[in-house]
Chains A and B, each alone.
Chain A
């Protein structure tokens, strides 16, 4: 894959605080990369470094194979969309779109052509003469995207663009951004703390924590094969159940032992690497546990329903099992009163095992 943005050994520190340390990242041409993490993990900082708004203390940034580490933001071939929209309040939508082009001394006809094109793509034609204060949140963000669009750049940078919108608008604009990416085929780097946005939009997700990329993979891999407990716990809502126990041996096969209860590890991909006695954490997603009549296979477990949370499409059960509380997702039509005894079975092919010490996936 042709590289569009390439980051080599990037470091950034504010005084004694290292925000980024020796970060390496390659982003392919036309790829939609999402930087995901909780606040303070350095994802916005990384984006600002790529944009040229923050100066790194070490390392290099390449855009289209050109070293832009010391370049001004305008010379990097990037457009950026901000969380607060950052539209110039005293200018009309049209002026907002044309400001950057005017600064670059582009001829008038070309400016008009580009604005017309952006207005058509984003359907903001009727708004061109209005001031930002007269627009709704969704319209403002559309204009902000338009401002990046008219600059005809190689790389789009999004800094939590949907976080200021209400839930309904957010999901609408999410679809629009995805459509935009499919039609423009530009490289897009998108910062968010919202895992749904990350999973739905991304070609690849980079999950960050304390300035370090924890895992860089496609959404499917991130969801099903998280590399460590942080990634596993961060992605998925409600989050993955973690059972702390150890490996034991039953009849020549490794099993997972917690509070005296055995879990067969048949079907787990790396079962041969499990030495008996090793302290491990078993991670099971709520939707990968089968209940009652769906429970099947060689091994079943008994549990009691503690709390039931109906969510419409599905129903979340909090169960007491082997001294743990675990969440299980069942269909919305299946209801369980608190105190009901249920039978469970686990699909080990979809579960994850982590080393209890390093928290890395086994």
Chain B
């Protein structure tokens, strides 16, 4: 009689009861269920899809040219060599000169650091002012800034070239830093404004009652509370500016070309044999900085993205 009642409840439960196990606590789950196979299968496929090219690059960059000519692109190197890396860094030719990527690396550093710092500094103050000091026309100003983010870069390139030329800084690093700072402004201001709006308004009011002014509130109340969003802004800017190609090639002279432009020149220069291993090494070197930035600050990045999520 009791068996029949149990059968109605469900086969799993019935089986458990038949085996003499009284259901208690967490329900046992099968590891190899259809759901798990689907889930992990899809994830593994997606991961492979993205990781395979990276694997090919790393492997190829550590092979010598004779080995590459064998055509087994997936096989690991028989003889590991770091010569392609050394060549990519120090002596690969970019058409005119043959001192490798190192020059481009230092150019990129000299472009990225000031651009990142200046744009974050200005945008955070902008965002703070927009979020907390509701001045007349603040909303209009903000809207204009955001619309600016949607205008295609191509439209603005030629006018900016003229403006920079008139200012006498066309082709210099200063000019490129200014361009990067300006183009980072809409998205960064939005990011900071949303973050500061999400902080309790009463904190700001309390600070005003305590007599703190615009800069005192910014430096002593707001800044210490905003580390995650600063990390997010930094990652966005460092990776964005480091990976930039268009502005780098348009607004600078060859001796100031950033790493990405040099990479392109190395890979595309057609002199004799194509050195795939050097090209791969050069690409990995160029991508190393954003990659390291992500690894080092990944956790803070996720936290900050959640905090600065687009809101009102």
A residues with CB within 8 A of B: 48, 51-53, 72-74, 78-80, 82-84, 86-90, 99-100, 103-104, 147, 151
Contacts and interface: CB of A to CB of B under 8 A. Distances in A.
Contacts of B310: none
Contacts of A104: 211
Interface string B185-223: 000000000000000101101111111100010001100
Contact of A100 (B203, B211, B225): B211
Contacts of B210: 74, 99-100, 103, 147, 151
Contacts of B221: 88
A228 B205 CA distance: 35
A151 B207 CA distance: 13
A72 B216 CA distance: 15
Given A88-B221, A89-B225, A103-B216, A53 B205 contact: yes
A225 B143 CA distance: 53
Contacts of A86: 200, 202-203, 205-206
Contacts of A78: 209
Nearest to A48: B205
Contact of B202 (A83, A100, A103): A83
A80 B209 contact: yes
B224 interface: yes
Contacts of B212: 99-100, 103
A82 B205 contact: yes
Contacts of B211: 72-74, 100, 103-104
A61 B220 CA distance: 30
A123 B307 CA distance: 36
Interface of B: 200, 202-203, 205-212, 216, 220-221, 224-225
Lowest 7 CB-CB distances: which A-B pairs, in order? Answer: A100-B210, A74-B211, A86-B202, A86-B206, A90-B224, A82-B202, A103-B211
B206 A147 contact: yes
Of residues A84, A103, A151, which shows the largest number of chain B Cβ atoms within 10 Å of its Cβ?
A: A103
B295 to A, nearest CB: 27
A104 B206 CA distance: 14
B225 A79 contact: no
Nearest to B220: A99
A234 B206 CA distance: 31
18 contacts: A48-B205, A51-B209, A72-B208, A73-B211, A74-B209, A79-B209, A80-B209, A82-B202, A82-B206, A84-B202, A86-B200, A86-B203, A90-B225, A99-B212, A103-B216, A104-B211, A147-B206, A147-B210
Given A82-B202, A84-B200, A86-B203, A100 B209 contact: yes
Nearest to B200: A84
Nearest to A101: B210
A90 B210 CA distance: 16
A73 B210 CA distance: 8
A80 B205 contact: yes
Given A74-B210, A100-B211, A103-B211, 13 more contacts: A53-B205, A74-B211, A79-B209, A82-B205, A84-B200, A84-B202, A86-B202, A86-B205, A90-B224, A90-B225, A103-B210, A103-B212, A147-B210
A151 B220 CA distance: 19
Contacts of A88: 203, 206-207, 221
A104 B207 CA distance: 12
Nearest to B204: A86
Contacts of A53: 205, 208-209
B236 to A, nearest CB: 24
Of residues A48, A53, A72, which shows the largest number of chain B Cβ atoms within 10 Å of its Cβ?
A: A53
A147 B206 CA distance: 9
Nearest to B223: A90
Nearest to B199: A89
Contacts of A79: 209
Contacts of B202: 82-84, 86
A100 B30 CA distance: 61
A88 B223 CA distance: 12
Contacts of B205: 48, 51, 53, 80, 82, 86
Given A88-B221, A90-B225, A103-B216, A74 B208 contact: yes
Contacts of B224: 90
A67 B221 CA distance: 30
Contacts of B206: 80, 82, 86-88, 147
B225 A73 contact: no
Contacts of A83: 202
Nearest to A81: B206
A89 B225 CA distance: 8
B304 to A, nearest CB: 16
A73 B208 contact: yes
A193 to B, nearest CB: 17
Of residues B208, B209, B221, which shows the largest number of chain A Cβ atoms within 10 Å of its Cβ?
A: B209
A80 to B, nearest CB: 5
A48 to B, nearest CB: 8
Of residues A86, A87, A89, A90, which shows the largest number of chain B Cβ atoms within 10 Å of its Cβ?
A: A86
A50 B264 CA distance: 64
Contacts of B225: 89-90
A79 B221 CA distance: 18
Nearest to A90: B224
A147 B220 CA distance: 17
A99 B213 CA distance: 12
